[in-house]
């Protein structure tokens, strides 16, 4: 069984062919141009992850705060994470890199600010 993926590691968008065994386990991959794509191909068919970016409400401000997960989180947790971020409010001031949620949806991964709000 084969799967074709488009690598999201950079704008080149290499097409990667992934070979899976009958149980759906990773066997091999080809078509990537660097180790980022090689790693992406294996992760995508075994435990896909994504970095989540979103906007968070700031108390007494109209301007929202842009945030992202500090590391990629399991793909299956994306919508739950967006919901937690949407329901969370932060107080100004906030600086780029500040942790605004310690552990998003039990992933152990924090959400951090990507913008300064004085």
Nearer to ligand SF4 by Cβ, of 7 and 101: the residue is 7
**Rounded least distance, CB 28 to ligand SF4, Å:** 15
Q: Name every residue whose Cβ is closer than 8 Å to that of residue 15 and which is 6 or more positions away in sequence.
A: 4, 5, 6, 7, 31
Cβ–Cβ under 8 Å, residues 58 and 64: yes
Q: Looking at 29-37, 52-60, 71-79, 93-101, which segment touches ligand SF4 (CB under 6 A)?
A: 29-37
Residues 30-89 that bind ligand SF4 (CB under 6 A): 32-34, 36-37
Contact yes or no for 53/64 (Cβ under 8 A): no
Give the residues lining the site for ligand SF4 (CB under 6 A).
7, 9-10, 12-14, 32-34, 36-37
């Amino acid at each position: 069984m084969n799967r074709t993926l488009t690598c999201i590691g950079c704008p080149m968008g290499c097409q990667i062919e992934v070979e899976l065994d009958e149980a759906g386990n990773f066997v091999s991959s080809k078509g990537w141009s660097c180790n980022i794509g090689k790693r992406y191909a294996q992760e995508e068919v075994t435990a896909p992850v994504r970095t989540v970016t979103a906007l968070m409400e700031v108390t007494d401000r109209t301007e929202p705060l842009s945030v992202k997960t500090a590391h990629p989180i399991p793909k299956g947790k994306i919508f739950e994470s967006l919901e937690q971020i949407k329901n969370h409010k932060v107080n100004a001031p906030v600086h780029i890199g500040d942790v605004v949620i310690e552990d998003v949806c039990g992933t152990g991964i924090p959400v951090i600010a990507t913008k300064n709000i004085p």
